[in-house]
A and B are shown apart, each in its own frame.
Chain A
Amino acid sequence: MAKLFSFNINGAYLRFLLKRNSRFMILTGIAMTVLFPILAFTNYLIDGSYNQFVFTTGRVFILLLLVLSIFIVPFLLFSYLNSKKNLDVYHALPIKRRDLYFTTLLAAFAIILIPYTIVYLIGNIYYYSVIANVDMILLIKQYYFSVALTLSIVTPILFAMMNTGTGVDGLLYGLLLHIIPSILYGAYVTFGSAVLLGFTVADPSLFLLYASPIWAIFELTFNTTRIFPNPILISLYWIAFGLITSWVVLYYYQIRRSEKAEEPFTNKWFFPVISSFFTFIVQFFLYSAFITLSGRGLDFRTLIFPFFLTFVMYLILDVIANRGFKHLIRGIINFAIIGSLSLGTFTLGTLFDGFGYITRVPNASNVEKVELEYYDPYGFLYTSYYYDQNTFPLQKMYTEAEDIATIIDTHKTILEGFKENNYKKWDGYSPLASSPRTTLASSLNYQSSNIRIVYYLNNGAKIARSYTVPFGWTAGLLDLVDSENVFKNRYPMLANPDAIVRNTIFEIFDPLLTNSVSLSGKVNFKLFAAAYKSDYMSLNEQQHNQPNTPVLGVVNLTSCASTDICITRAIPLDARYTQTMSLLASSGVTLPTLATFNYQPIVLLPDATNEKTSFFLIQSLFGQTDFYSQTNYNDVKEEVPFVGVVKYIEIPSDKIVELLPYIRINAISNKAIGVLRLESKIIINDRNTQYLFYLLDEGALPLLQQWQAELEVKTMNYDNVVYKYE
């Protein structure tokens, strides 16, 4: 064993190989130069300026060429393995086989890396000289990653060469070894997605990061945001993999039967093992993909086509391997065994619902933290406007015990809902038979929400689940509204004012956005942010979701970070925001009053004759502005909401002021009172509607009844749809 780890590099032979392959290096170097520095220079000639993106693209191109040359060079240097007469010379040479192997491997390494290193250096010196604020450490790290992973990409190709006797077979199986991890991952993901309710992968690229060196070289080099797992540790893992597999390859090199050169395989086990495994996972992948595409669940008729498709694929591999049809019967028998195994495994995995995968929910005591991605149709917790993960990252990680319990409860609620529907996936449109919630949100089940939960357990493991569910099933998550995470997501600039370099808009409107006063130069932004955060965090979820105080004003704020990424938010104020109100007052700000306006406000009225019209929900000033009532269900499905169903009254402009004490924004109500609709004078948050909606509090009921008696109650028609996209 110790002998295996001692070797000598034959310097003269190394130099000889480098000299003989100098033309290849020159060619690769020229190709890389064209695709990196010359590409950037050409772009400069066209645009007249340098673009960072072009340099990044150039680096991607030369890395692609590096990977390509990793596939070519072993065949240039180790091609003697595929010829008996060449082997007669090479293995008769007075050099130990391991020395010959390592000298050739080192030469391959040098031939691959010399042109890359030179062009990387030239290209980045050029980059450094024309682009400001270049992160040199990042460039060095990128170079390190590309070099560190080179060996781990070379060795699977060499492993294939050591087990095959011709260049074509070596290349074919070298490629196969490199794509097997991707297909394996694809099979795992498609199987999970096809048959396992809630299936998701905690870190989509994690498996390939550890299983595919080609994936890893690109991920580590260009995904600069990854911090976990530590990229350096991953690179060390791949270096270790490369070194270990180098010695595995050496072992096969030493026992490789020279007389088998020029035959497809020098190792009789190589083809059966690789082709069987490859066929097995391709079958798994295709079964899952066809089941997903058919949408019929586990139906054996769906599996017939992929079964025979892989049969043909296996026979082609078999015919290539045997250079003919002489072992066709044996191939058919082999395939029958592989096919039976894959079908059996697939069926068992499907019938047993992934062996408890579907129903598993961890105990709160075992959970360290939870990552939650939640896309509700109203943007209560996660508004999606103007997010840039680098500048204003979404806060998804919940560590408070109360928040974790809320998420686990919601997860259980979701599973209860699916249980009542036999754990069938929901298409996001068709009504589901039942709902586990009977509270205010139960009528919202025709709206879908996407939720993804990743539990980080105390033992270091992760459990990840993802669902598309009716919104009502996730309504429990609205309890998270008082968490700091939600505050950060709603108002990232207030959560981290130090990251803001300027506010392009900082003003306050009256509640109906008719009149504004600038706050710039009057109110200290950081003090405002601190005051508002303090006020926000002092309210509980009930106070947030069902406010009982009228809106006093809305701050319109557009803040920009150093990256020139700007974000806009409408920030409501009412009497409960005491510190903020005091700050405004002490800064000499007088809240703007209602200005005159020339459009027709209307109040939408619930259908009093229908018992199912049990509530309105409205979220007016950020995220999607929307409101619904149970009776509108069918109309919503027709995509012409409320037409012919919703009644409304037109309010004279001078009477609107009487409603001000009762208007609410960012609110949910389980009682149908009415909704005030105005035409928007300004657009905040890039909303895609021309209307503003305000929920009316129960206190407005006497006034509405009076107006219904005095004014004409109209019905919506196509010309005055209440909610219109532009």
Chain B
Amino acid sequence: MIQLTSVSKSFDNKLVLDHIDWTVKKGSVFGLVGPNGAGKSTLLRIISGVIKADNGQVTVDGEFVYDEPQVKKRILFLADEPFFLHQSTLKEMKEFYKIFYPSFDETMYTKLLNNFPIPENEKINTFSKGMKRQTGLILALAVNPDVLLLDESFDGLDPVMRLTLKRFISREILNRDMTVVISSHNLRELEDICDQIALIDNRKVVMSGEVDTIKGDFHKVQVGFAHDVKEDIFAFLNPLHVDKMGNVFVVVAKGDIEGILESIKKLEPALVTELPLNLEEIFVYEMEGRGYGKTI
């Protein structure tokens, strides 16, 4: 279990994370979302022990992480830009990781190589961006860590590879009880693979929980009226978003769907229909509700 307690971090007196309290249960796949500059990468760096929090505590299974090799052996952090030694090959990088991670699994490495067609003895710097990503992922997965931290690691992969990777991660979690934290802007992908999700905004974790629970908490309802009404008629719902096209409204609001529908029906609409809402829309509406990107 990853436990963050009141974690804060500043860069040059600029507060990036402000008293973050966050828990990731063992064996879960956690999606980390948030606008650019929200502090997702900083949070992953702190969890992996790359940087130290200014305040608060970070523990993995109750043990501190920063500069603690015994704990860090169980964690692998794959940054958004994968690193490879200068002029190295995948084989050399494998040797490099094997030095530090006793858990490195040759069998899994071979299995991964079969799934990801990466030449083992060619210089990595000749690879395409997608191939470099795959190389990074092969190494990260072959390390076989208890905690895998992926910082936008799916970006640059083609759809087939993404799918392969997702399947691989899903299988491993089932088999090994691995904890995975994935930060990404691509919420559709997270929706497919993650069972939990957290939203970071304004230096804090503003939303965190099971994907299904979150999805169940946000609702999109289409409402049509026979007569002309104003937008603020829905103010009592405290909506995240209201769209108006003639006398037809699309309202996004949080809460119990039964209660929301009941309240809307009291307005005597001609039409009330609940529309499907995916995670990306939730993220967008939630962020809009927080003032992010509204001016554009």
Interaction A to B: yes
CB nearest neighbor in A for B96: A16
Closest-CB distance, A603 to chain B (whole angstroms): 87
Contact (Cβ within 8 A) A91 B99 = no
Residue from the list B67, B79, B85 in contact with A96, Cβ < 8 A: B67
Q: Which residues on the B side are within 8 Å of A80 (C-beta)?
A: 83
Shortest distance between the CB of B36 and any CB in chain A (Å)? 16
Inter-subunit contact A16/B49 (CB<8 Å): no
Residue B50 at the chain A interface, CB threshold 8 Å = yes
**How many residues of A are counted as interface, with CB atoms below 8 angstroms from the partner's CB atoms?**
24
Q: Which 9 A-B pairs have the closest CB atoms?
A: A94-B72, A94-B73, A88-B79, A94-B69, A89-B83, A85-B81, A92-B77, A91-B50, A92-B48
Contacts of A94 in B (CB 8 A): 69-73, 75, 100-101
B83 touches A88 (CB 8 A): yes
- Please indicate the chain B residues that have their CB under 8 angstroms from the CB of A257 in the complex: 51
Is residue A12 contacting chain B, with contact meaning CB distance below 8 A?
yes
Contact B100 A13 (CB under 8 A): yes
- Give the one of A16, A89, A95 with max B CB within 10 A: A89
Q: In the docked arrangement, what's the CA distance between A16 and B96, Å?
A: 7
Give chain B residues whose Cβ lies under 8 Å from the Cβ of A13.
Answer: 99-100
A89 and B79 within 8 A (CB):
yes
Cα distance, A97 to B125, chains bound together (Å): 27
Complex: chain A residue closest to B101, CB-CB: A94
Q: Which residues of A contact B49 (CB under 8 A)?
A: 91-92
Q: Verify if B156 is at the interface (C-beta below 8 Å from A).
A: no
Smallest CB separation, A97 vs chain B (Å)? 6
A13-B99, A93-B72, A97-B67 known; 17 other A-B pairs, CB under 8 Å? A10-B99, A13-B100, A16-B96, A79-B86, A85-B81, A89-B77, A89-B79, A92-B45, A92-B48, A92-B76, A93-B100, A94-B69, A94-B71, A94-B73, A94-B75, A258-B51, A259-B11
Q: Does B274 contact A (CB under 8 A)?
A: no
A78 to chain B, nearest CB (A): 13
Task: Give B178 Cβ to nearest chain A Cβ, in Å.
Answer: 17
The minimal Cβ–Cβ distance linking B43 to chain A, given in whole angstroms, is 13
A80 to B84, CA, bound (A): 10
Tell me whether B35 is interfacial, beta carbon within 8 Å.
Answer: no
Instruction: Indicate whether B82 reaches chain A with its CB closer than 8 angstroms.
Output: yes
CB neighbours (8 Å) of A12 from chain B are 99
CA distance A12 to B99 in the complex (A): 6
Query: How far is A80 from B85 in the complex, measured between Cα atoms in Å?
Result: 9
Tell me whether B69 and A95 are in contact (CB under 8 A).
yes
Q: How far is the CB of A323 from chain B (nearest CB, A)?
A: 16
Cross-interface CB contact of B83 among A85, A99, A259, cutoff 8 Å:
A85
Q: Is the CB of A88 within 8 A of B69?
A: no
**Closest CB of chain B to A3's CB: distance in Å?**
10
The residue on B at minimum CB distance from A14 is B99
- Asked if B95 is an interface residue, CB under 8 A from chain A, the answer is yes
Closest to A98 in B: B67
Q: Is A397 an interface residue (CB 8 A)?
A: no
Most chain-B CB neighbours within 10 Å: which of A16, A91, A93, A99? A93
A88 touches B99 (CB 8 A): no
- A95 to chain B: closest residue by CB: B69
Encoded as 1 (CB less than 8 Å from any A CB) or 0, chain B from 237 to 265 comes to: 00000000000000000000000000000
Within 8 A of A (CB), among B100-147: 100-101
Interface string of A56-89 (1 = CB under 8 A from B): 0000000000000000000000011001011111
- Cα A83 to Cα B77 in complex, Å, equals 16
A-B contact pairs, 22 of them (CB 8 A): A12-B99, A13-B99, A16-B95, A16-B96, A20-B85, A79-B86, A85-B81, A88-B45, A88-B79, A89-B77, A92-B45, A92-B50, A92-B72, A92-B76, A92-B77, A94-B69, A94-B73, A95-B72, A95-B100, A96-B67, A96-B69, A258-B45
User: Is B82 a contact partner of A85 (Cβ separation < 8 A)?
Assistant: yes
Q: How far is the CB of A72 from chain B (nearest CB, A)?
A: 14
Among B49, B86, B100, the one with the most A-chain Cβ atoms within 10 Å of its Cβ is B100
In the docked arrangement, what's the CA distance between A258 and B49, Å?
A: 11
Known A-B contacts A88-B45, A95-B69; the reply to A258 vs B50 at CB < 8 A is yes
Q: How far is the CB of B83 from chain A (nearest CB, A)?
A: 4
A94-B70, A94-B100 as given contacts; A87 in contact with B95, CB under 8 Å: no
Interface string of B48-83 (1 = CB under 8 A from A): 111100000000000000010111110111010111
Minimum Cβ distance to chain A for residue B123 (Å): 13
A405-B71 Cα distance, complex, nearest whole Å: 76
Give the chain B neighbours of A92 by CB distance below 8 A.
45, 48-50, 72, 75-77
A94 and B49 CA atoms in complex are apart in Å by 9
* Smallest Cβ-Cβ distance to A83: which chain B residue: B83
A residues less than 8 Å from B96 (CB atoms) = 16
> Which residue of B is nearest A20, CB measured?
B85
Complex Cα distance A12/B96, Å?
9
CB distance from B30 to the nearest CB of A (A): 18
Q: How far is the CB of A80 from chain B (nearest CB, A)?
A: 8
Q: What separation, in Å, do the CA atoms of A79 and B79 have in the docked complex?
A: 18
**Set of chain A residues within 8 Å of B70, measured between Cβ atoms:** 94
CB distance from B132 to the nearest CB of A (A): 11
Within 8 Å CB of B100, what residues of A?
A: 13, 93-95
Contact: B85 with A88, CB < 8 Å? no
Q: Report chain A residues within 8 Å CB of B11.
A: 259
Residue of A nearest to B44 (CB): A88
| Set of chain A residues within 8 Å of B81, measured between Cβ atoms | 85
- Rounded to whole angstroms, the CA-CA distance of A388 and B84 in the bound complex is 60
In the assembled complex, the Cα of A99 lies from the Cα of B45 at a distance in Å of 20
Within 8 Å CB of B82, what residues of A?
Answer: 85
Q: Which residues on the A side are within 8 Å of B83 (C-beta)?
A: 80, 83, 85-86, 88-89
Q: Find chain A residues with CB under 8 A from B92 CB.
A: 20
Interface centre among B48, B50, B72, B79 (most CB of A within 10 A): B50
Which chain A residue lies CB-closest to B72?
Answer: A94
CA A16 to CA B51, docked complex, whole Å: 25
Determine how close the nearest CB of chain A comes to the CB of B180; give it in whole angstroms.
Answer: 15
Assembled-state Cα–Cα distance A80/B92 (Å): 17
- A99–B101 CA distance with the chains assembled, in angstroms: 15
In the complex, chain A residues whose CB is within 8 Å of the CB of B79: 85, 88-89
Distance in angstroms between the alpha carbons of A93 and B81 in the assembled complex: 16
Q: Tell me, rounded to whole Å, the shortest Cβ–Cβ distance linking A221 to chain B.
A: 33
Q: How far is the CA of A94 from the CA of B69 in the complex (A)?
A: 4
Q: What's the least CB distance linking B76 to chain A, in Å?
A: 7
Over the window 592-615 of chain A, the binary record of Cβ atoms lying under 8 Å from chain B Cβ atoms (1 yes, 0 no) is 000000000000000000000000
Cα distance A94–B50 when bound, in Å?
A: 10
Distance, CA A258 to CA B77, complexed state (A): 15
By a CB distance below 8 angstroms, the chain A residues around B99 are 10, 12-13, 16
- Nearest chain B CB to A365 CB, angstrom units: 61
Q: Shortest distance in angstroms between A322's beta carbon and chain B's nearest beta carbon?
A: 15
Q: Taking the nearest CB of chain B, how far is it from the CB of A19, in angstroms?
A: 9
Interchain nearest-CB distance for A610 vs B (Å): 85
Q: Which of B49, B86, B99, B101 has the most CB of A within 10 A?
A: B99
Chain A residues near B73 (CB-CB < 8 A): 94
- In the bound complex, how far is the Cα of B73 from the Cα of A697, in angstroms? 100
Shortest Cβ distance from A89 into B: residue: B83
Q: Which residue in chain B gives the minimum CB-CB distance to A15?
A: B99
A705: min CB distance to chain B, Å: 97
Q: Which residue of A lies closest to B45 (CB)?
A: A88
Task: Give a binary string over A1-35; 1 marks a CB under 8 Å from any B CB, 0 the rest.
Answer: 00000000010110010001000000000000000
- Min C-beta distance of B134 to chain A, whole Å: 17
Give the residues from 353 to 405 in chain A that come closer than 8 angstroms, CB to CB, to chain B. Answer: none
> Quick one: closest A residue to B83, CB to CB?
A89
Q: Which chain A residue shows the least CB distance to B81? A: A85
Q: Name the distance in Å between B101's Cβ and chain A's nearest Cβ.
A: 7
Which residues on A sit within 8 Å (CB–CB) of B76? Answer: 92
Measured CB to CB, the closest approach of chain A to B46, in angstroms, equals 11
CA distance A259 to B9 in the complex (A): 12
**Chain A residues with Cβ under 8 A from B75's Cβ?**
92, 94
Q: How far is the CB of A28 from chain B (nearest CB, A)?
A: 18
Q: How far is the CA of A94 from the CA of B67 in the complex (A)?
A: 8
The distance from the CB of A558 to the nearest CB of chain B, in whole angstroms, is: 66
**Distance between B205 CB and nearest chain A CB, rounded to angstroms:** 21
Query: In the complex, A88→B51 CA distance in Å?
Result: 9
